[in-house]
Amino acid sequence: MLEHVPHWLGSLMHNVRAGHAKLAIVQDGIVTGDARLELSSLAFADGARLPERFTADGEGVSPPLTWRGVPAGTAALALLVEDPDAPATNPLVHAVVWNLPPEDGSLAEGAIAPDGHGANDGSDVGRNSYSQEGWLPPDPPTGHGSHDYVFQLFALDRAAALDINPRRSDLLDAIRGHVVAAGMLVGTYSRGEEAPVGPAAPAPQVA
C-alpha cells in the first residue's frame, strides 16, 4: 500500500517516525533479566538490508530465523517484529508469535503465516498492525529513507494464556515483568534510494 506514496511526499515525511524509543524491548518493565538470546537469520546479517523476497516488493514471505542461548527455566518464547521508522505515532507491527517452545530453535522461511487457532507445537501467530494474522511484509514509503525492521525475541518465565491471535498490546501485557532473556536482530529496507549491493570499498589511503 505504501508503495503508492509519491517520492516527494515520502521525502517530506523523512523525519516523521515513531522512534526507536518506542520499541517493546526498551519499554520500562518489559525485560527484567540480563541474559541475552542470540537471534540470527541465514537470509541477512544483523543491520543489513532485507532481501526483496521478504518485502512487499517480492514474495512477501517471512525470513528464516534461528535462536540460541535459551536459559534453563524458560517456559515459553515470544517474537515481536516492529518498524520504529514508520511515519506513525507507534512502531508498525509486522509480526507477533506467541508461546514458541522454550528451547533453542528456529522458524523456517514463510513460517510466520496465518495458523488459525495455533500450530501443533503450541505457538500462535498473532495480528499485525493491519489487523491481519501473519507476516506484514515491509512496505516503506518511497523516498522516506531506510527503515529498521527489529526482530525481538523474549524468553519468558511463564506461558500465560492469551486469546487466539494476540495483538502487540496483549503480548506486552502478558510478558511485562516475565522476560528472563531477550535478543534482537535488525534488518533494513528502503525505497527510492540506492540500495547497497555489497561490502563497502576500503577508503583510499593518502600518501
On whether the CB atoms of residues 82 and 23 are closer than 8 A, the answer is yes
pLDDT range class, residue 200, cuts 50, 70, 90: very low
Q: Rounded distance, CA 111 to CA 22, Å?
A: 26
Residue type, 144: H
For 130-151, the DSSP string reads TS-BS-----PPTTS--EEEEE
pTM of the complete model beyond 0.95: no
95 within domain boundaries: yes
Contact 182, 207 (CB under 8 A): no
11 part of a folded domain: yes
Strand segments, DSSP code E, in 101-138 are 105-107, 124-125
Report how many helices (DSSP H) and strands (DSSP E) the chain contains, helices first.
Answer: 2, 10
Record the cell numbers describing residue 128, joined without a space: 499485525
- The larger pLDDT score, comparing residue 63 to residue 195, is at 63
| Domain presence at residue 132 | yes
Residue 2: predicted pLDDT: 52
What pLDDT, in 10s, does the model give residues 139-179? 998 888 899 999 999 999 998 778 888 899 999 999 999 99
What domain range includes position 26?
A: 2-189
Say if 78 falls within a structural domain: yes
Q: Please count the structural domains in the chain.
A: 1
* Average pLDDT over the chain, rounded to an integer: 86
Residue 207 counted as domain residue:
no
